[in-house]
Each structure stands twice: as structure tokens, then as C-alpha cells.
Chains A and B, each alone.
Chain A
Amino acid sequence: MSHEYVPEIAVDREGKEHKVQGWQDDIYGAKLGFWLFMFTEVLMFGAMFMALTYYYTLHHDDFLIASSSLNRVLGGTNTVILLFSALTMGLGLLKMKHGDVKGAKLMIWATIVLATAFLVIKGFEWSAEYHHGVFLGLDALQAGNADSKPFGQILFFGMYFTMTGIHGFHILIGIGIMLWLLKRINAGKVSPEHYILHFNIALYWDLVHLIWVFVFPYYYMIGAGLTGGAH
């Protein structure tokens, strides 16, 4: 990373000088690149939502029944946790921009703690579902045996575990990236003058939150009216 990069100057026929944008020190380029990458993530989750919607139209009632059996207390708690983690991540970036490197690192640690809490709660959710016999590979979600659920519910839970699993995987990656960010800050590579990496990682975390903003209501809330509340 050469902070000593000196941009080239191109001269036109009137003698006017124009700065040549090089690949080094291109802050807007780094931002643009990361937004484009996030776009691909949105498309991946979007395709899964599309598949989910197709089956929802085929099996409307079964989807509501399956949805009502999910734990809204745990799911709702996770939603609030992720919300606050987006705040802490954003405040961390703000503090970095303002010169408060120590405060920024504290906020990143807070985000990591909240993210870990999210995963722990998700773990509880999944193990509760496993103990109720609802899990990938167990009889309820297989076809043709005594405990088999109807088609719509099998599909709902199949996509539920897939999407929350892939989302959780992205949270895990996010924790790893945040730990790496802390290392880069300590090494002086990320600072109040050069914080584009911090900016992009905050964007990533907001994307992870954004996906949950749609995952939560789609899975947990559509059937909430059936049983009238949590669990």
C-alpha cells in the first residue's frame, strides 16, 4: 500500500493539466468496487427469496403453519441485537473519522460481541428445533415416513435452515473480518486519514443486517397471526 503514490499529470493541447486517476489511492473506486460486490450478495439472497416466494404461492397455508411454529421471542431478540450491532459498527466508523481510534476499536469490539450473541441465540433456536424433530435429515423433513410433514412445511423448513444458515455464515465471516480490521488498525494501516477499509467493512455489516431485515418477517412473522404470538 503505497501512501507515497504521486499521480501522473496529462497535458492537453491547450497546455491545461489533468490529473490521471491511478489504481492506487482510488477511494471512490474502492467504494464502487465494494458496492458492486454487495450487489452480487443481494442477488444471491434475492434468488433464494424468489424460490421461496414460488413455493409460498403453491403452499400458502402450510407456509403459515410452519412459520407460526418458529420462536418469535428469540427471532425478535436477534433482530434487535443485529440492529444495535449496525449502530455500533456505524458509530465505530464515525469515531474513526473523527480521530477517536480507541473509541472506534471499542465499538468494533461491541459489534463483535453482539454478532456472537446473535449466533449463540441462533444456536439455541436451531437446537430447540432439532429436539422437536424438525431439522435437516430428520424424519419430519423427509418424504414418505410416518412423521413426514406436508410438502409446504418441508419446503419452508428446508429453505429456513438454508437461508438462516447462509446468513449465519455471513455473520461468522463478518466477525472474522472485524477481527482482521482491528489488526489493521493496530498496524496503523487503517487510520483517521485512511479509513476506506473500515468504511467498506461497515458497509458489509449493514448488508448482513439488511438481509436479516427481510429474512425475519418472511420466515417468522407471516404465520404470527395464526397462534397469536410467540412460540
Chain B
Amino acid sequence: MAISDATYKEEYKRYWLVLVGLLLLTALTLIQPTMFMENATFAVQMLIGVVKAWLILMYYMHLKGEKEIIMFTYFSMFIVLTFFVIVIGIDVANFQYGDLSHIISGDEAAAASQTHGAAHAEPAHH
């Protein structure tokens, strides 16, 4: 037996508390698109997801008590992924071949070339 009765009781309560928290957040997820902040649904949903993930990582996966290295690993991963998101985001936002592209429909092409500005309205012909 690795843990005492007192620790067991404390941890047991914590598991259920976190579950209640996660259930509440899930309820929030389900009602949000029709109840509040409907025009920012994606951002709110992802935010709720991040909060849930944090609870799970810290308490269910005991990350709170682990040495720094594990924490460092996960945060460096977020930095790496963020960079990928940022750089690909820069690439996508500045896409300059919208009117030549088969996979972007009419309005999306217009939106893409608008972001890029008038200077590249005429794509180069090879």
C-alpha cells in the first residue's frame, strides 16, 4: 500500500470534484453556440477545450506533482505548434495566387487577394 487512508480520501474527493468541473464545462460547450457569444463560437469552444485539458493534465494525469522536465516538454511543444500555426498562418493569409487556384472558390479567392493588396493583382506569367 503506497498511500495512507487520509491521502486516499483526499484524492478521491479531488477526482470527483474535477469530474464535476469537467461536466459543467461540457454543458457549457453544448449550450454556448445557441446561448452566448455565438459569433465567436470557434474561439470559445477551443478556450473551453484548453481549460478542460488543463484540468485533466494537472489533476487526472498528476502533472502538477511532476518534475519540471515534463512540464517543460509540454510547454515547448505548444511553442513549436504555435510557430507552425503562425508561419503557416502568414503563408495562408498572404496567398497571392488566389485567382489561379482551383481549390479556392470565387469569394475565397477574392478575400485572399484582398489581404495581399493591389500590388500583386496581376500574377506573373511564365
**Which residues on A are within 8 Å of B, measured CB to CB?**
28, 31-32, 35-36, 39, 42-43, 46, 50, 53-54, 57-59, 72, 76, 79-80, 83-84, 86-87, 90-91, 94, 97-99, 150-151, 192-193, 195, 203, 206-207, 209-210, 213-214, 216-218, 221-225, 228-229
Contact = CB atoms under 8 A, between A and B. Distances in A.
Interface band, chain B: 35 or more
B30 to A, nearest CB: 6
Q: Which 6 A-B pairs have the closest CB atoms?
A: A99-B1, A224-B33, A217-B45, A225-B33, A98-B8, A97-B2
| Interface of chain B: mostly helix, strand, loop or mixed | helix
A229 B34 contact: yes
Contacts, number: 118
Contacts of B88: 50, 54
Q: What does DSSP make chain A's interface, helix, strand, loop or mixed?
A: helix
Contacts of A221: 29-30, 32-33, 41, 45
B114 to A, nearest CB: 14
Contacts of B110: none
Interface in B54-100: 56-57, 60-61, 66-67, 69-70, 73-74, 77, 81, 84-85, 88, 92
